[in-house]
Chains A and B, each alone.
Chain A
Amino acid sequence: MNPYEMQWSSATPGLLIILLDQSGSMTNKYDDNMTKSEFASKAVNRVINTLIQRNFDGESPKNRAFISVIGYDNYVHELCSGYLKDLDAKPLHIDDVMKKQSDGAGGLVEIPYKMPVWVEPITKDGATNMKGAFEMAKAIIEKWMADKPGHPAPVVINISDGAPYYDYKTVEGCMDETTQVAKQLMGLKCEDGNVLLFNALIKKAGANLVFPSEVQEGSSDEARFIFNISSEVPQAYAAAAAKNDLPLKDGSRGCIFEADGVQLVSLIDFGSSKGLGDIK
């Protein structure tokens, strides 16, 4: 079997780790309606729910994935973790929302819908200990790989709005330290391939850039940092990239700069595609 071709299954569950920036800047406005933290939490909840739903046969979800969501501010916190069945059984709460869908005659109708919530947005200020989050992800993955060597390569998705900053060090120093840990993380290897690390920088004001294959001259240090800590997208993910409208070229790195809402959900969908693609 070629690298990264293993599907997530009950026999060989996938491991998806989502790292969520919960620093003070995430309380800033994303748009008129919500903060970046609210927006990112919503995207994460939506993707967990989709993964459960795609593996749900009416009775219960199949345990085809283990998901861990880790938040980071000054410190690192496990926000939720579990196989799909565990997550389905224990959301923090279930919200009643209205969902728009086609009425079959060209119009839209609103239908009451239950939306489980596993991750809440933050309201407090804090630093950006991305390095600590990568260290925790690395520890989880090392244990997972030791226990399950024949399983699909784990996927880590980091959602942030900027560079790391912690322990009153310089941003440059934090980026260097964090890059080192990220490289160690991406160096972990199982039979299916190396750990994949994908990054999304949430929308600010800059130009949107999806899956770049090089860092442009004159790019900011922050852009270089994100590019350097992103895995090259493997060929086995090409179909998932196309399905999520993520343009892929030779040498593309799995990162999105200034991601909007659709792109953030697309990136998480893309990262978890080995658990979504097989409808049979």
Chain B
Amino acid sequence: MRARAFITQKEAESVADCQDRFSINPATGSVAVSDGMSQSLFPKYWAEILADRYTAERDWFPTRENVQALAPFWMEKVRKRLEEWRALGREPWRSESMLATGASAGATLVGLRVGVGGKWSCDILGDSCLVELEGDHIKEIYSSMDQFDNYPDYFDSNPEKPGKGEVRTITGNWNLPEEPPKTLLLVTDALGAFLASIKGKREETARIRELLSVESADEFKVLVQYWRKDGMHNDDTTMVVVTDDYWWLSEDHVFVQPGECFKRQEEWVW
């Protein structure tokens, strides 16, 4: 199994502003992508916690109860960040004030787990998507929503808030005989919506070939800039490409640290 991950931020924003996160763990055969909601507080911390937790253990599922149990980790990260600011002489009055009124983070999640024999299952909440490709065609695009809009389903970092929507679980099998080669993409909403807009159109094959030929962070950034001119929404954009080239489960854990994902050649093989 091979996974390649790419991430880029909104045009005119810095890498540090990017609220998407992904996590890949060969030991558990898991991959996850989470999109922190812009109009929430410290969403990238929450996205990172969700993505990392999903890939840490094969038997952890994003139920409301399990996600609520992650809330203290978000709060701990936030408190630590605010303490760092105070140590630097910056008074975080706005963040403190928002926290006092119950402000929290929201994030979507799409997580994929692949098992021995090529069976896979995917859990999705929000408009982050699982895209199933057959060769260079889009077979299906899955999210937990009927359409892409500005009000996606999400998990909330405040355990007293319900968040929005229900987790959708999709299952499949890679190793069915006499089927075309399959690729799974985990993508955030801007790319998911753009792929949905080209599905079934003449440009579909060429676009998918172009997407699958991406091999570096720079190539991905250029492609996204180019596609934005063709109508893709200017948003943080993440893609993890998972293919079933071969199977080999490694003992090594690969967790993606914040910032690290922007620097390295994004490929993991297991």
**A residues apposed to B, CB below 8 Å:** 9-12, 52-59, 62, 88, 94, 99, 101, 104, 111-114, 277-280
Contacts and interface: CB of A to CB of B under 8 A. Distances in A.
B10 A11 contact: yes
Interface string B37-55: 1111111110000000000
Interface string B1-45: 000000000111100110100000000000000011111111111
A113 B97 contact: yes
B93 interface: yes
Nearest to B9: A10
A57 B17 contact: yes
Given A58-B78, A112-B100, A278 B16 contact: no
B41 A58 contact: yes
A30 B211 CA distance: 60
A191 to B, nearest CB: 15
B38 to A, nearest CB: 6
B150 A280 contact: yes
Contacts of A280: 35, 37-38, 127, 150, 152, 189, 235
Q: What 3 pairs between A and B have smallest CB-CB spacing? A: A58-B42, A11-B12, A279-B39
18 contacts: A10-B17, A11-B234, A12-B12, A53-B94, A57-B36, A57-B40, A58-B42, A58-B45, A59-B42, A88-B94, A99-B101, A101-B102, A111-B100, A114-B94, A114-B96, A277-B150, A278-B150, A280-B150
Given A11-B12, A280-B150, 18 more contacts: A10-B10, A10-B17, A11-B13, A57-B36, A57-B38, A57-B41, A58-B41, A58-B45, A58-B81, A58-B95, A59-B17, A113-B97, A113-B101, A114-B97, A279-B37, A279-B38, A279-B151, A280-B37
Contacts of A94: 93
Given A9-B10, A114-B94, A57 B42 contact: yes
Contacts of B17: 10, 57, 59, 62
Interface residues of B, number: 38
Interface in B59-84: 78, 81
A162 to B, nearest CB: 36
A19 B105 CA distance: 35
Contacts of A54: 39
Contacts of B41: 56-58
Interface of B: 10-13, 16-17, 19, 35-45, 78, 81, 93-98, 100-102, 105, 127, 150-152, 160, 189, 234-235
Contacts of B78: 58
A111 B97 CA distance: 9
A12 B11 CA distance: 9
A46 to B, nearest CB: 14
Contact of B12 (A10, A88, A99, A113): A10
Nearest to A56: B94
A137 B231 CA distance: 32
B25 to A, nearest CB: 26
B187 to A, nearest CB: 14
B61 to A, nearest CB: 25
A225 to B, nearest CB: 37
Nearest to B11: A11
Nearest to B43: A57
Given A58-B41, A101-B101, A279-B150, A10 B13 contact: yes
B206 to A, nearest CB: 24
B193 to A, nearest CB: 10
A52 B95 CA distance: 12
Contacts of A104: 160
Contacts of B94: 52-53, 56, 88, 114
B269 to A, nearest CB: 32
A59 B94 CA distance: 10
A11 B19 CA distance: 16
Contact of A53 (B10, B16, B98, B189): B98
